[in-house]
Amino acid sequence: AARGLADATAKMVDAAKVSARDPGNVDAQAALKSATEDLRMAVNAAANNALKKKLIKKLEIVAKHTAAAATQCIAAAQGAGPTNRNQSSQQQLLTNCKTVADHIGKLVQAVRASLASPESPSSQLGLINASQAMIQPCGKMIAASKAAVPTVGDQAAALQLANCAKQTATCLADLRSAAAKAAEACGSLEVESAIDVVRQLEADLHSIQKTAASGKLLPLPGETAESCALELGATSKTVGASMAQLLTAAAQGNENYTGIAARDTANALKVLSGSVRGVAAATNDRSAQDQIVATAIHVMSHSRRLIEEAKKAIANPQNPDNQSRLAQAAKAVSQALNQVINCLPGQRDVDAAIKEIAAASVALTTGQYPSAGPDQSFQDVQTGLSVAAAALNVSASELVANSRGTHAQLAQSSQKFAGKYKAMLHSGLTLAGVSKEKSARNEIVGYLRSVSMSSTKLLMATKALSADPNAPNVKNNLAAAARGVTDAINALVTVCTAAAPGQRECDNALRKIQTTGAMLQNPVEPVNDSTYFACLDAVMENSKVLGEAMGDITKHAKAERHEDFGSAVGTAATAVCALTENAAQAAYLVAISDSSSTAAVSGLVDSSQFARAQQAIQQACEQLLNPSSAQAQVLSSATVIAKHTSALCNACKTASGKTKNPVAKRKFVQSAKDVATCTAGLVKNIKALAGTLNEQNRGDCSASTRPLLDAINDLVEFASAAEFASVSAKISPQARAAQAPIVTAGSNMLTSSSNLISSAKSLAVNPRDAATWQLLASHSKAVSDAIRKLVAAVKDKSPGQLECDKAIELLNMAINEVDQASLAAISSKLAPSTESTLEGFHTVMMSNVNEISDFIEPVSSAAKADPEKLGHVVTNFANYFVPLSKAAVGAASKTANHERQMSVLEQTKTLAESALQLMYAAKECGGNVSAHEAHASVNEAVENMVEAVQDLKGTLEIAASEAGLTAGMVGSIHKATDTLDEPIHGEVGRTFAEYQESVSAAAKEIMIKAQDMVGKAASSPSELGVISKDATTVYCSMAGNCRGALATIDNDDISERLKAACKRLGGALGELLQCAGSVQSNPTDFQGKKELSDSARQVTTQVASVLAALQAGAKGTQACINAVDNIKGIISDLDTVIMFASTGLLNKEEDADTFGEHREDILRTAKSLVEDTKKLVSGAAASQEQLAVAAEASAGTIRVLAEHVKLGAAALTSDDQEAQVLLLNAVRDVASSLGSLVTATKNAFGKSVQDPTMEHLRSCAKAQIDWRTISPLPRSICRRW
């Protein structure tokens, strides 16, 4: 290690010497940079062990502090609960606290393990992992705590919660930093540790196998077969997702994220191992025990091999065989996981049913048919098939219902379903056998194959739901599979049976309705992508269709037009199914929009949307490849595929823009490209198939669908990782009650529609039966009433309306309270409040105003396009106004200045009134994206609210600055600092260079204000508040620009460096403001002034860190910014010299000095500036290093030229005053033009030739050439002298 360090040092010194001899040599600079990086790595390697110990020790200390602070925050959150006016936010806070409490225990255990075994790599990694796992949930708890503070009625509890949240945030920042540094030092151990963990799990499973063989394997307390089976099913998905992350990171050669993925995989396998033990212990079947443990051992063995292959891939990322070896190992793990799932209770029986169906379906390929009985006629065989098909449909419904039941119920229903399928298959083959025409037999066999495929899909969907009921979209997949079975049965019965007129159509419709009814049983997840108002429109439209179809049924039954009658029945059934689906979706949206429910938390991707798109594309591909599909169905399939693949590609693009994980960013981009490429190829073949429906074109489509489906499956598996997933909404009992009117009306509509079609079935046979006509009329009235109630229920339950009414009531209360206080203040009867101090009231007001400001945009978005979120955001939004009004009254009562007193009250009232206007507009709009006129009202109200917030904030900041109250300003700085962790959604409006310039200017301004504070502390302490306010405004603006810069930096290391520097600057500035407040309130405090000076120096240091991070992000553009600043200084100096020359006071210092002595220097430097300018202009299309060299050279040359011209002008003496001024003005114009050219070069850097900034650069370059040659008169002076 010492030799390597010495060699690296020598190389770095040599590279530095070469670079110093030729500063403009880009290759030399690159060599120096490489040598410096090698030296850093050598230093890390030499001091690795000592560094690890130091970092782990620091992490242990920080972890203890974080655990203690988080525990106090949890206690404060629980204490604030009884007086929190917003129970929704309180519930969310307690949920986050519960999650953090679980992580605290794991973190404490990891700290103890590390203290007990400080040299153990596994204990070190355990501490790092526990610390990193603590960061995200603790961050959510802190955010929830800060959001809850303004609505806590007890001031002491609110203060305690705020202080604890602040302390926890500080500790968490230290934990994040310490964990990151420790992970970097110990990162190489992640993969090795994961291999050791998996190897140990394999050994543990062998021990469990031996214990089971001896009959001593017993379940742990609280373990049941059902709970362990559910955990095993869910964990298998987690293992699969972690495996996908591992494959992607290893394939990209990213060592850091490969280690993280290996760790996550090992942790998931640990949970899987415990679940396997629980399942094995809960069963008395020895063969089942051996089977599940043995398959779990295979999972561990193959997983270990996968991680080892990932390690090899990282060690040699250029090996082309890496991808194939990783894919083979992953495939082996996936197969082993499936075998484990197949061993679960209930799963084995479903698997057996699938095998039974597959074995029975072999008869479809033999060409042999069972013969009918001697007494059976053709009609008897047809009747038998109809009965068997109906029994299979009923059995499918039972299977769907029991998929959510016990394992015994699932086993029984799956076995029954397999038996009913075999009976139906036998009847169908018998019918095919008695058919005389070969084409008829082939047609029947084709429809039987369709039933076979749909039956297998139903069992697979049942199996998936049973294994993991909480997986995204599994319930919808099961419902779709059940509908597929019904559709296949209906198609078979339609073709194979002959019945009385209208009977077949009615039976098909009844089966279809029966299958759809399951949607309304428990609508707790979305069934499609429709919004609430789309559901309402669909309900209205299909209600009309159903009403017309009922009239047609009656009309055609009377006229005995049987074909039209059958068509009307089919239309009615389709409308009923559509009504049911949209009613179920509307009921779900009503439930999640209820303010008592816990709102969903959006993740990086919507896993449910991905799963629904995957399902829709698979179904479209199947329809596309179906030989019986007509041209219209082919085109419809193409539309569905194009729609959903486009949505997936857009989601991938959005996700890649949001995530900071470089592996995920590249994976999402690549997945979008793969899906788009495969879709383009498929669409091309679909066009050919739509033009000519033949086997060759269909075969081409089949070949094109396989890569598309593989790409989508790979994407969905990768996106299912917990890191990207959304958190589903939790529906409360109150929300379930809100669903009841829609669910009840929908269920009544289903029942009455079924009764109507049953009555119509009888009328089709006997249209003269008066009793049946009366029964049909009764059922028609029942259907009409149910439809009317369903439409009314969907309209009445529009999300957010009730919450808007409650918010309006709260806002009116707040306005009335402020009005009463204003009247009292006018008559000088507003008594000072004793509940808090002026600073306390100001802090509460600023906190509430900040929260209100943050909610303006969410309320606007929900009001215009997201009705499901409207109730939640409106409730939280309105709850901040009551404490705001109380604090405003309290602050006014403590304010001596009557004008300021009235200003606070009036502006608070204005803010509340603008919020009231927004609530009325939001209620009217209701989240309807089509209500464009109402959108205008919302936009107007939002503008008024933003203006009112700014006015009140300004008043509070001025009042606070005059009184020396810094808590509100420090809070604003902390809030701005927190936003640095939030990514920018959507397109970034400016380039990095523009953000860099803004951040750089703001940082320098903050540094100037910090120095001003030091001066004012001694001369005029009363002005410190105003400077503090200005510094706060500048920093908040800088934080917003810094977010933009972070979004446009490609290098993640530099991004983190810039973010950390801006955060440190915010912390230092906050401490400076607190010191300034202390000095302002006590101007004679010398210790306070010393602390102020120290804090100012710290701010200066952090400003330097920000500027250094900006320069590292783009050295060239930062050099341009610095050059422009230097040129401005040169111009300012020239202006001063010109003023002296204009008054005749510019003379040479030595009598012997002549202009001729400076003439050659001026001309030579001007020529050098010509060359530097050329390099500067070309630097816009070069590298950052080349641009930096050119900008620095240009700034240096213009400085030298200005000095020579000043000396030359002085040599002319005041006797030639006009020539002096002309010469100085000429060089000033050159400097000004050069400054514009440097700015234009900076803005044009990296842009295309057609970009407008390039045209501006060309014009600036032309202007610079005109000035660079110096104006005619000074040239004549040069010639004269």
pLDDT at 105 over 70: yes
pLDDT bracket for residue 600 (50, 70, 90): low
Q: What is the pLDDT of residues 1019-1078, one digit of tens each?
A: 888 888 888 888 998 999 999 888 888 877 766 677 878 888 898 899 899 889 888 888
pLDDT-wise least confident of 73-87, 300-314, 544-558, 1143-1157: 1143-1157
The pLDDT tens digits for 344-399 are 877 888 888 888 898 988 888 887 888 877 777 777 888 888 889 889 988 988 88
Residue 908's pLDDT band (boundaries 50, 70, 90)? very high
238 vs 261: CA distance, rounded Å: 11
Would you state the pLDDT for residue 76?
A: 93
242 vs 244: CA distance, rounded Å: 5
- 3-state SS class at 730: strand
Tokens of 207: 């021990």
**988-1001: burial string, b at 16+ Cβ within 10 Å, e else:** eeebbbbbbbbbbb
Q: What angle do CA 329, 335, 341 make, to 5 degrees?
A: 140
CA 761 to chain centroid, in Å, comes to: 53
Asked if residue 1153 has pLDDT above 80, the reply is no
DSSP 959-994: HHHHHT--HHHHHHHHHHHHGGGSPPPS---S-HHH
User: Which two three-digit tokens encode residue 669?
Assistant: 């981009």
Q: 1025: which 2 tokens? A: 């508040």
Residue 500 burial by CB count (10 A; 0-12/13-18/19+): exposed, middle or buried? exposed
Residue carrying structure tokens 């991680």: 307
**Pair of tokens at residue 171:** 């500790």
pLDDT confidence bin for 1270, thresholds 50/70/90: very low
pLDDT of residue 629: 79
Reported as a pLDDT band with limits 50, 70 and 90, residue 327 is: confident
Query: In the predicted model, what is the mean pLDDT of residues 491-510?
Result: 77
Give the E-state strand segments of 148-270 in sequence order.
Answer: none
Q: Which DSSP letter does residue 86 get?
A: -
Quick: pLDDT tens for 853-902: 989 999 999 999 888 888 888 988 998 898 899 999 998 898 888 888 89
Q: Residues 1257-1278: what's their mean pLDDT?
A: 54
Mean pLDDT of 793-804: 88
In angstroms, the CA 103 to CA 97 distance is 10
- From the number of C-beta atoms within 10 Å of its C-beta (0-12, 13-18, 19+), residue 1224 rates as buried
Residue type present at position 558: K
Lowest mean pLDDT among 55-64, 166-175, 315-324, 632-641: 315-324
The pLDDT tens digits of the residues spanning 165-194 come to 988 988 988 898 888 778 777 755 678 888
- Is 70 exceeded by the pLDDT of residue 1249? no
Q: Helices 770-796 and 562-593, interaxial angle, to 10°?
A: 30
Range of weakest confidence among 32-36, 783-787, 851-855 = 32-36
Q: What is the pLDDT of residue 1034?
A: 92
Average pLDDT of the segment spanning 296-322: 85
Evaluate if residue 501 carries a pLDDT over 70.
Answer: no
What is the pTM assigned to this prediction? 0.70
Q: Is 153 exposed, middle or buried (0-12, 13-18, 19+ CB in 10 A)?
A: middle
Residues near 185 by Cβ (< 8 Å), separated by ≥ 6? 44, 48, 51, 52, 55
Rounded distance, CA 1008 to CA 1004, Å? 6
First to last CA, the chain: 67
Residue 1267: the pLDDT is: 45
Q: Residue 156: CB partners within 8 Å, gap ≥ 6?
A: none
Please answer whether residues 1003 and 1106 qualify as being in contact, where contact means their C-beta atoms are separated by less than 8 angstroms: yes
The length of the chain in residues reads: 1281
Torsion sign (Cα): 499, 500, 503, 504: positive
Please determine, for residue 684, whether its predicted confidence score (pLDDT) is greater than 50.
yes
Q: What's the whole-number mean pLDDT along residues 52-72? A: 90
> Beta partners for 598?
730
pLDDT at 1274: 47
Q: CA Rg, the chain, in Å?
A: 38
Q: Residue 712 corresponds to which amino acid?
A: I
Please tell me which residue, 965 or 150, carries the higher pLDDT value. 150
The pLDDT score that the predictor gives to residue 77 is 92
The Cα–Cα gap between 682 and 712 comes to: 14
User: Pick from 415, 416, 446: which is nearest to 428 by CA?
Assistant: 446
Q: How far is CA 1080 from CA 371, 968, 1088, in A?
A: 105, 16, 10
The fraction of the chain above a pLDDT of 70, given in percent, is 94
Closest CA to 452 of 346, 369, 355: 355
- What residue type is assigned to position 783 of the chain? V
Distance CA 310, CA 329 (A): 10
Q: Exposure of 982 by Cβ count < 10 A (0-12 exposed, 13-18 middle, 19+ buried)? A: exposed
3-state helix/strand/coil string of 677-728: HHHHHHHHHHHHHHHCCCHHHHHHHHHHHHHHHHHHHHHHHHHCCCCCCCEC
Q: Give, for 484, the enclosing helix (H) or strand (E).
A: helix 474-496
Give the C-alpha separation, 228 to 740, whole Å: 33
Phi-psi region of 1148 (alpha: psi -120 to 50; beta: other; left: phi over 0): beta
pLDDT band at 71 (very low <50, low <70, confident <90, very high): very high
Is the predicted pLDDT of residue 809 greater than 50, yes or no?
A: yes
Count the neighbouring beta carbons within 10 Å of the beta carbon of residue 1150: 8
pLDDT of res. 905: 92
* Predicted confidence (pLDDT) per residue in 1185-1195, tens digit: 778 888 888 88
The residue ranking higher by pLDDT, 1027 or 981, is 1027
Q: Is the pLDDT of residue 410 over 80?
A: yes
Cβ atoms within 10 Å, residue 1268 = 19
Residue 977's CB is within 10 A of a number of other CB atoms, namely 24
Mean of all residue pLDDT scores within the chain: 84
Structure confidence at residue 1269 as a pLDDT band (50, 70, 90): very low
pLDDT band for position 469 (50/70/90)? confident
Q: What is the mean pLDDT of residues 768-777?
A: 84
C-alpha 1082/C-alpha 1080 separation (Å) is: 5
- What is the model's pLDDT at position 964? 66
| Cβ contacts of 331 within 8 Å, gap of 6 or more | none
How large is the angle between the packed helices 770-796 and 532-559, nearest 10 degrees? Answer: 170
Q: How far apart are CA 507 and CA 492, in angstroms?
A: 12
Determine phi and psi for 727, rounding to 5 degrees. -105, 120
The torsion of the CA quartet 1259, 1260, 1262, 1263, rounded to 10 degrees, works out to 120
Smallest CA-to-CA distance from 178 within 281, 62, 98, 94 is with 62
**Is residue 900 within 8 Å of residue 888, measured between CB atoms?**
no
- Assess contact for 726 and 767: CB atoms under 8 A: no
pLDDT for 910 equals 94
| Of residues 1180 and 619, more confidently modeled | 619
Q: Indicate whether 1080 pLDDT > 90.
A: no
CA angle 582, 584, 586 (to 5 degrees): 65
Given this model, what pLDDT does residue 251 score?
82
Q: How far is CA 1097 from CA 302, 941, 1074, in A?
A: 58, 44, 15
Contact 989, 1044 (CB under 8 A): yes
For residue 416 the two structure tokens come to: 């029954």
Contacts of 647 (CB under 8 A, 6+ apart): 609, 613
Helix, strand or coil, per DSSP, at residue 193: helix
Residue 944 is encoded by which pair of tokens? 């008024």
Nearest Cα neighbor of 1225 from 1195, 1270, 1266 is 1270
Task: Answer whether residue 613 shows pLDDT above 50.
Answer: yes
Q: Which has more confidence, 1109 or 1275?
A: 1109
* C-alpha to C-alpha distance for 102 and 629, rounded to whole angstroms: 55
Please say if the pLDDT value at position 46 is more than 70.
Answer: no
